[in-house]
Amino acid sequence: MRLTKFTDLALRAVMRLAVVRDGDEPMATREVAEVVGVPYTHAAKAITRLQHLGVVEARRGRGGGLTLTGLGRRASVGWLVRELEGEAEVVDCEGDNPCPLRGACRLRGALREAQEAFYAALDPLTVTDLVASPTGPVLIGLTERPPG
């Protein structure tokens, strides 16, 4: 199973926001884009989707920025990936050129089971689990500015 680039970006953004320390100023979308190495417009779309899911809160203006919500910290990675990936199946049997086997195919069901097993393996993990050491310190180090 391969995640979309959008889901990958959203997960990296959530992970970076999960390690913002008390006293740090909230990150801006532009900063998140720089840290995860994507164009601002891509990051903005991912942040918007994460807001709709209730995982990220965004405040405008002075003192504003992005913060991870309580739901965002304790969210199951499996749930988050399901929400970001949508309901699409691994294969498209009904597309522009429908598969002639679709009525009697056993592969489609097997792939659906494998996809669910993939998500189920992610269900016990939370966003907080993803940023445990050694990942969290590396994420923080990506944006720390040298003293001086």
Interval 86-113: pLDDT, tens: 888 787 778 788 888 877 888 888 988 9
More confident residue, 17 or 99: 17
Report percent pLDDT > 70 for the chain: 95
Q: Give whole-number Cα distances, 138 to 134, 141, 142, in Å.
A: 7, 5, 6
Q: Are 54 and 14 in contact (CB under 8 A)?
A: no
In the block, tokens 């405040």 appear at: 59
* Longest distance between any two alpha carbons in the chain, whole Å: 68
b/e per residue, 28-38, with b = 16+ CB within 10 A?
bbebbbebbeb
